[in-house]
Amino acid sequence: MAGVSTATVSRALQSPDIVSKKTRDAVFAAVSETGYSVNTAAQMLRRNRSGTILVILPDIANPFFSKILSGIEEVATQANLTILIGNTNGEDERFANILENLRNGRADGALLLNGCAPPDGLLAEGVPVISISERVNNSDIPHVGTNNEEAAYDATRYLVSLGHRAIAHAAGPDGNTLTEDRFAGYARAMAEAGLDDKINRVPCGFSFGDGQRAARHVLAKHADATAVFCANDESAMGMIRCLQDEGYVVPDQISVMGFDDVPYASIFQPELTTVHQARNLIGKQAMRMLLDFLSDQPMPVSPTFLEHSIVVRNSTSEPLDSGFS
Amino acid sequence: MAGVSTATVSRALQSPDIVSKKTRDAVFAAVSETGYSVNTAAQMLRRNRSGTILVILPDIANPFFSKILSGIEEVATQANLTILIGNTNGEDERFANILENLRNGRADGALLLNGCAPPDGLLAEGVPVISISERVNNSDIPHVGTNNEEAAYDATRYLVSLGHRAIAHAAGPDGNTLTEDRFAGYARAMAEAGLDDKINRVPCGFSFGDGQRAARHVLAKHADATAVFCANDESAMGMIRCLQDEGYVVPDQISVMGFDDVPYASIFQPELTTVHQARNLIGKQAMRMLLDFLSDQPMPVSPTFLEHSIVVRNSTSEPLDSGFS
DNA sequence: GAATCTTATGTAATCGATTTCATTTTGAAT
DNA sequence: ATTCAAAATGAAATCGATTACATAAGATTC
């Protein structure tokens, strides 16, 4: 004890400026002497704040999320907030359990990366939540991410500008807003180029294996395609690998484009042409918005979109005149 | 309120069996009616337990850690524990901040995946800690992982068994126990095969770029090498890519072997021959041990090693008689 | 039916930090 | 030196769940 009351200790630690220099020094000295550390539980209880925000994602191992996470962490750390990561694994029960953290006070707010609306009643009243990357359908949850429709439009236009006409789209999993947004952008660009009759939506998915399967589908049903725009990078790599296994040369005979620009996109052979998302910035921006909510700032109603860009590498080129044969 | 005291509510929720069926039902009814949720802060304060364990790792984005994490999570979830992830980014300051969670009561114990000893005094007294994967030098922290010396020995023996003689080792970063253990296993296998004079430790690192740089080193200084055993998969991929860029064919002219068996090892071309670590089991085992500590079981003194295995894919083959030229 | 033992519940203290309110100290102004 | 405002501190209530202890209700035995 430094000869002062606990009240003064608390003040010295939380708002050093309202305490006289003399006692402040005494308190800090005692703190470092004893190795005292504020008890978080008591603080949480009294303040009715946990100083923690919950990040909910479907799969921690997915490299797509890692940069977003770093962005979130950066801002959270600056603001002295802890982040608690909840891995849903795509399971509703896990999701529900994770949301419990908002009701029992373990977290003050949440960032939602799994694109699922919290079931009715599971979301505590007035708890700030922001969705990232994947919009949540039919909900008024504020959103931060990439304008997927626009980005897919740009990607498709790029392929068109190379001279491609028969461009297929390997779409993501059904019931996912990313899938719909990206398909819409693709379809718009195709229509605008007068290629309505070339619009081909190939059912695919987001995994490497999905891409391989979709490649066989393309070869079987759309053999005239000279380019495929895939819903994400992983499926694009699967698509390419399967095409190569079948003896096709990418991009000479068929161009393949991805979406996301994951770290591996530039290591894969051929290096992947793709749509770059500003993942770090998305994370930062979302976290900043959540901070605003936590200090009772008003919520924006329209989604916040961050810049995307087309990254041209070696998986796309001008088509052979005849298409591949 | 269900007509009972708060004490009874607490009992009904925490140990349903010591409460009469009638009141138990009444309490549960009231709970689901009101959507009541136990306040974690108060519970933590009173119990002097957070029900949280801290997982400290250097880089959340590293795919090597993801499977370990899933294993940890599985066991933790079963035991009704929350896991808090701390990302050090390799920075000491971050590390210190993260350890603070053990002293302020936010977490009850920790799993250490960064291979760094907690600085003196920063580790709260009597807090259980287990190191995973990377041993912590000069410390008595219990350990769970792969026997790296043995695994590297097995890997090297596999290359020897293919007929290789001039086998270089691209070692990991200095000052890392993994680096030393793996080099030791390599050296032991080489010596045992009468190849002491062929032992070549090439400075490398764990990243793709490190592997590329090390490849140039090998070409420049050890042109007789017919095989390279790399410290991990990522550097092995970099090594292969650089060799390919220089016009060599892997594995025909030179074999390259990795370590870890990360997800990408089987997608990379050529598919990577590597050492598989039971990462999920390692995570599970470590978490189980931590649970034991938390319930005052004694700690094991010797490290717990889980099975590893050699996964043969396409980046290794028998050497050309003459080595590459 | 009384005595005894079990089981179920309530009362009240407790965990540790924060904060309102009251009190004391300091400093400035006259 | 006196007065008054401002600044610094302390006392005590509070957050919500748990639990030792006390008491009440119920079951069991004779």
Q: Give tens-digit pLDDT for A75-123.
A: 999 999 999 999 999 999 999 999 999 999 999 999 999 988 888 766 7
Residue lying closest to nucleotide D26, CA to C1': B20
Q: How many domains does chain B have?
A: 3
Alpha helices in A193-230 (DSSP H): 208-221
- pLDDT for A214: 98
Q: Which residues touch strand D (CB under 7 A)?
A: A 3-8, 11, 18-20, 22-23, 42, 45-46, 48; B 6-7, 9-11, 13-14, 36, 38-39, 42-43, 45-47
Could you tell me if B130 and B74 are in contact, meaning their C-beta atoms sit under 8 angstroms apart? Answer: no
Give CA–CA dist B271/B250, Å, rounded. 10
Judge if B69 and B214 occupy the same domain.
no
Note the pLDDT of residue A1. 64
| Residue with the larger pLDDT of the pair B300 and A135 | A135
Q: Which of B296, B317, B301 minimizes the C-alpha distance to B109?
A: B296
Q: Which bases of chain C are contacted by protein, using any atom under 7 A from a CB?
A: 7-12, 14-20
Considering only CB atoms, B105 lies closest to which of A40, A97, A263, namely: A40
The mean per-residue pLDDT over the stretch A296-301 comes to: 81
**Chain B closest-CA separation from residue A40 CA (Å):** 6
CATH at A165: 3.40.50.2300
Q: Radius of gyration (Cα) for chain A, nearest Å?
A: 25
**Chain B contact set for A84 (CB, 8 A):** 82, 84
For residue A169, being part of any structural domain is answered with: yes
Tell whether A162 and A260 lie within a shared domain.
yes
Closest residue (CA to C1') to nucleotide C12 in the complex = B7
* Class of residue B32 by CB neighbours under 10 A (exposed 0-12, middle 13-18, buried 19+): exposed
Q: Is B249 on the interface with A (CB under 8 A)?
A: no
Judge whether residue A260 has pLDDT over 50. Answer: yes
Residues of chain B contacting residue A121, judged by C-beta atoms under 8 Å apart = 35
Within a domain: A325:
no
Counted residue by residue, chain B has a size of 325
CA A147 to chain centre: 12
A160 & A258 share domain: yes
Structural domain for A208, as ranges: 148-276
Nucleotide nearest to B41 (CA to C1'): D16
**Residue A306 predicted with pLDDT over 60:** yes
Last residue of a domain, one of A257, A276, A295: A276
The mean pLDDT value for A7-15 works out to 93
DSSP bridge pairs for B131: B112, B143
A168 in the same domain as A106: no
Q: How far is A77 from chain B (nearest CA, A)?
A: 9
Strands (E), B184-243: 200-203, 227-230
Rounded-to-integer distance, Cα A258 and Cα A246, Å: 20
Per the structure block, which two tokens stand in for A174?
Answer: 């059904």
Residues B287 and B140 in one domain: yes
- Chain A residues inside the 8 Å CB shell of B40: 44, 50, 104-106
Inform me whether the C-beta atom of residue A127 falls under 8 Å from chain B C-beta atoms: no
Q: Contact, A83 vs B55, CB < 8 A?
A: no
Neighbours of B69 (CB within 10 A): 23
Q: Which residue has the tokens 């009294």?
A: A46
**Over residues A193-205, mean pLDDT:** 97
Give the whole-angstrom CA distance, residue A28 versus residue B162: 65
Q: Would you say residue A296 has pLDDT above 60?
A: yes
pLDDT tens, residue by residue, A55-87: 999 988 888 999 999 999 999 999 999 999 999
- B322 within domain boundaries: no
B-proximal residues of A, 178-237, CB under 8 Å: 208, 237
- Residue B42: closest C-alpha in chain A: A45
Looking at the fold, whether A168 and A193 belong to one and the same domain comes out as yes
Task: For nucleotide D9, give the residue with the nearest CA to its C1'.
Answer: A8
Chain B residues whose CB is inside 8 A of the A70 CB are 60-61, 87
Burial of residue B112 (CB within 10 Å: 0-12, 13-18, 19+) is buried
A10-CA/C10-C1' distance, Å: 35
Q: Whose C1' is closest to the CA of A46: which nucleotide?
A: D15
Express each pLDDT in A146-180 by its tens digit: 999 999 999 999 999 999 999 999 999 999 999 99
Same domain, A95 and A76: yes
Distance CA B22, CA B15 (A): 14
Minimum CA–C1' distance nucleotide for A20: D8
Whether A312 maps to a domain, the answer reads no
| Residue among A69, A106, A208 minimizing CB distance to B60 | A69
Question: A125 and A107 share a domain?
Answer: yes
Task: Give the model's confidence band at A124: pLDDT under 50 very low, under 70 low, under 90 confident, else very high.
Answer: low
A51 close contact with B: CB closer than 8 A: no
Q: Is A56 helix (H, G, I), strand (E, B) or coil?
A: strand
Q: Is A5 on the interface with B (CB under 8 A)?
A: no
A255 and A296 fall within a common domain: no
- The reply to whether A139 and A165 lie within a common domain is no
| Residue B24, in any domain of the structure | yes
- Do A139 and A285 share a domain, yes or no? yes
User: What pLDDT score does A324 carry?
Assistant: 45
Which chain A residues are Cβ-neighbours of B83 within 8 angstroms?
Answer: 85
Do B300 and B263 fall within a single domain? no
Of the candidates A194, A203, A208, A190, the one whose C-alpha atom is nearest the C-alpha of residue A264 is A208
Shortest Cα distance, chain B CAs vs residue A97, angstroms: 10
B219 CB contacts (<8 Å, ≥6 apart)? B243, B246
**CB burial class (10 A; 0-12, 13-18, 19+) of residue B161?**
exposed
Residue B119 lies in a domain: yes
What mean pLDDT, rounded, does chain A reach? Answer: 93
Give pLDDT, residue A126.
Answer: 79
CA distance B189 to chain A (A): 32
Whether residue A109 lies inside any domain: the answer is: yes
* Nucleic acid strand D: bases within 7 A of protein CB: 7-12, 14-20
From first to last of its 325 residues, what are the pLDDT tens digits of chain B? 677 889 999 999 998 888 888 899 999 999 998 889 999 999 999 999 999 999 999 988 888 999 999 999 999 999 999 999 999 999 999 999 999 999 999 999 999 999 888 887 767 677 899 999 999 988 889 999 999 999 999 999 999 999 999 999 999 999 999 999 999 999 999 999 999 999 999 999 999 999 999 999 999 999 999 999 999 999 999 999 999 999 999 999 999 999 999 999 999 999 999 999 999 999 999 999 999 999 888 888 889 999 999 999 999 999 986 444 4
Chain A residues with CB-CB distance to B63 below 8 A? 61, 63
Q: What is residue B1's predicted lDDT score, i.e. its pLDDT?
A: 63
Which A residues, 253 through 282, put their C-beta within 8 Å of a C-beta on chain B? Answer: 263-264, 267-269
Whether residue B219 lies inside any domain: the answer is yes
Best residue in A31, A34, A36, A37 for a mutation probing chain B (most B CBs within 10 Å): A37
